[in-house]
Structure 1
Amino acid sequence: MMKQFWILSSIISLSLFSSDRIGRLPVYKIAVEMSSSTEEAIALRDFMKEQIQSTGRGMVSLPLKGIESGVWEFDKEGIASIKTAENLEKLADVDKLVLIATEDGQAVVSFVDVLHKKLEYRNSLPDTLSKTLVSDFLGFLDKKNIYLALSETGSGSNAQLKINSLKPTYVAGEPIRFEIESAEDNYVYVVLVPENQKGEPVLLFPNQFQNDNFIRKGDKVTIPDKRISFKAAATPSKDRIRAFVSREEWKEFQLRGKKEDSFYRLLPPAVTGTKTTARSMMPLNTMTASIEQSPVMEWEYQILSR
């Protein structure tokens, strides 16, 4: 099981969203820049900007100022070089950076997490297939926006779920397991959100051993299943558990996981350009509407070092 699946934290509070967050669908503020100054790169940059903005997949920022062009270097692990990190530190009002380049007949798209100064995505195709390259990137961005919605959206509600069997704190390596009880008949989706967005949200329930996530009134479900080893991470952290309740199943999403993993991933129906052409113009607020409209309960937990 991947290490990020083992990150969980300690109970501090149960909180519902405040009124200023109800109904708000967050999207990333994205800068789209060129790392090579060719006519092809300019055209691809402008096309990328239009696609992101027109489909509501992000807020495209104004052109960057005070940034040394052409200095965008990352190692094999995706970590920014010293000079690139210095450039990224200047982007105070940008969440993500899209870099466009065309070189030797190839079009290249890179996606950078500005806060953590890390390359998250890079792909290239012959420049004759640049629109397919953009479509493939939009599929990736759909996944990122779904994860953002899982982390930040949801409407307030009365308590429809009760959580049991949790302690205020856990120590590194300690098994973590809790119980969800529903006050109404609902589909329930339980998500772990790592601290400070350092990792992708993890769908704890449903999972490969608990496929049926329809919980009837008064039923109690242990999460995760006892066949799953789920332990507190070795690093101290304060993460969030978010439980969404819905009258309808989230059928517009794809539940997918590798056989060796216990947990599913929540994805758009397809995540590659060859399959997303028909959906490439779908507004994000349509794609993530079921997440945004589902009441959500939220708890925080802390992991302490031994």
Structure 2
Amino acid sequence: MKYFLSLSAIISLSLFSSDRIGKVPVYKIAVEAISMNEESLALRDFIKGEIQSTSRGTVTLPLKSLGNNGWEFDKEGNPSPKTQIRLGNLNDVDKLLLVSTEDGQAVISFVDVLHQKLEYRNSLPDSLSKTLVSDFLGFLDKKNIYLALSETGTGSNSPLKINSLKPTYIAGEPIRFEIESAEDNYVYVVLVPENQKGEPVLLFPNQIQNDNFVRKGDKVIIPDKRISFKAASTPSKDRIRAFASREEWKEFQLRGKKEDSFYRLLPPAVTGTKASHRSMMVVASSLTAPIEQSPVMEWEYQILSR
């Protein structure tokens, strides 16, 4: 989190057009069994059905000649050279979900194909495979929220205006700007880092400015002067995205550590085996709808090294 309290550089401030309106951000996920026993195939089909029925992603056609050899990652999630080559050969796939059941253990691994990184790996005894699936779906819900915050289409119908955000910043320079609303709205302001491995950070509301209902004509300084928000030393191109919503986003959790200034926008708590299949489906189907249905304006800025 502290990494995102520092930003990096860029050259132009731009307002994005409405050509991305209507885009529903979901990942293209290949779900594959890496051991072909009956239990592994059943687990593959079960989790594939869960993803499809709850609209958590687009499940692709089975991959050809996937095999169970060569999928190797170190403790940091980096692939071996052989695995790098295999991932590089995967086309039209965002994520690779590998499942297996061996020696009484069910295993789920989730790989970011583009960035060649193992993002999730967990295992439980076969008898707890549904609990394992629930844990993974909770992780995928978080990924879907971050994707919606980053990729939901912008348009010209947003009532929000941003002031004082400069086109360029110098490393270490404080970043602070003003949001103005032409209507009464709940406002959510997100930092989207250029590095796509990073996660969007909720700048507003935050632990000091926790009331994000902005009335027509009001102007709000973001972040509060009591919060340190500075540009980092590494040049980069980052985006500020401001969402206007008539209703509060009650579907999500706002959480942050006491020592951090900013919240994270997270999915509702999943109660594991106590959560019914029906309730999980209802939550997942509507999870990112508040984000996708809220008008959003986007600004881009650059940070220069000293």
| TM-score normalised by the chain length of structure 2 | 0.93
SS of the residue 1:280 aligns to: helix
Listed as ranges, the matches of 1:112-151 within 5 Å are 112-151=111-150
Which residue pairs with 2:13 in the alignment? 12
Contact 1:209 1:225 in 2 (8 A): yes
Query: What does residue 85 of structure 2 align with?
Result: 86
- Structure 2 CA distance, aligned partners of 1:301 and 1:52? 36
Change (3 A) 1:196 1:256: same
Q: Is the 8 A contact 1:30 1:94 kept in 2?
A: yes
The answer for unaligned runs of 5 or more in structure 1 is: none
Q: Secondary structure at the match of 2:225?
A: coil
Aligned to 1:221, the other structure's residue is in SS state strand
Deviation at 1:271, TM superposition (A): 4.5
Residues in 1 aligned to 2:162 and 2:151: alpha-carbon distance in whole angstroms: 20
What amino acid is the match of 1:70?
N
Distance 1:275 1:189, change over 3 A: farther
More divergent stretch after superposition (64-73 vs 218-227): 64-73
What does the per-residue CA deviation read over 1:28-60, in whole Å, with 9 as the maximum and x for residues that have no partner? 000111233322111111111111111111111
Distance 1:283 1:94, change over 3 A: farther
Structure 2 partner of 1:305: 305
2:203–2:262 contact (8 Å) kept in structure 1 = yes
**AA partner of residue 73 (structure 1):** E
Quote the residue 1:282 is aligned against. Answer: 282
Q: What is the SS of the residue equivalent to 2:231?
A: coil
Query: Is the CA contact (8 Å cut-off) linking 1:9 and 1:300 kept in structure 2?
Result: no
Shift of the 90–271 alpha-carbon distance from structure 1 to 2, 3 Å rule, reads farther
Instruction: Report matched runs for 1:101-180 at 5 Å.
Output: 101-154=100-153, 156-180=155-179
| Residue 103 (structure 1) shift | 2.2
- Given residue 14 of structure 2, which amino acid in structure 1 is its aligned partner? S
Asked if 2 retains the 8 angstrom alpha-carbon contact of 1:98 and 1:110, the reply is yes
Matches of 1:130 and 1:109, distance apart in 2 = 10
Amino acid at match of 1:100: V
* Helix, strand or coil at the partner of 2:13: coil
Corresponding residue for residue 59 of structure 2: 60
How many Å separate the matches in 2 of 1:118 and 1:272? 28
- AA partner of residue 18 (structure 2): F
| CA distance in 1: counterparts of 2:165 and 2:127, whole angstroms | 55
- The equivalent residue for 1:296 is 296
Does residue 269 in structure 1 map to residue 282 in structure 2?
Answer: no
Q: Is the CA contact 1:241–1:300 (under 8 Å) kept in the aligned structure 2?
A: yes
Q: Deviations over 1:51-77 (max 9, x none)?
A: 111111111111112545321111111
Counterpart CA distance in 1 for 2:228 and 2:74 is 33
CA distance in structure 2 between the aligned counterparts of 1:224 and 1:3, rounded to whole angstroms: 16
Cα–Cα, structure 1 residues 154 and 247, in superposed 2: closer, same or farther, change >3 Å? farther
SS, match of residue 43 in structure 1: helix
Equivalent positions of 1:17-36 (< 5 A) are 17-18=18-19, 21-36=20-35
Shift of 1:214: 0.5
Corresponding position of 1:256 = 255
Letter of the 1:184 partner, please give it.
E
Partner of 1:75, secondary structure, is coil
CA distance in 2, matches of 1:261, 1:83: 39
Task: Go from structure 1 to structure 2 and tell me whether the alpha carbon gap of 1:274 and 1:169 turns closer, same or farther (over 3 Å shift).
Answer: farther
Q: C-alpha offsets along residues 247-296 of structure 1, whole Å, 9 cap, x if unaligned?
A: 11111111111112111111111156346545322274522111111100
- Do 2:154 and 2:298's aligned partners in 1 also have CA atoms closer than 8 Å? no
Which ranges of structure 2 fall in alignment gaps of 5 or more residues? none
RMSD between aligned alpha carbons?
1.8
Q: 1:97 to 1:109 in 2, by over 3 A?
A: same
Q: How many residues align?
A: 304
Whether the aligned pair in 2 keeps the contact of 1:190 and 1:203 (CA below 8 Å) is yes
Give CA deviations for 1:210-260 in whole Å, capped at 9, x if unaligned.
100011112111111112211112221111110000111111111111112
| 8 Å contact kept, 1:134–1:273 | no
Q: How far is 1:206 from its partner?
A: 0.4
Does 1:95 find its partner at 2:94?
Answer: yes
Instruction: Give CA deviations for 1:142-178 in whole Å, capped at 9, x if unaligned.
Output: 1111111111114624351221122111122221111
- Would you say the 8 A contact 2:77–2:117 is kept in 1? yes
Q: CA deviation at 1:108?
A: 1.0
SS at 1:303's partner residue? strand
1:211 corresponds to: 210
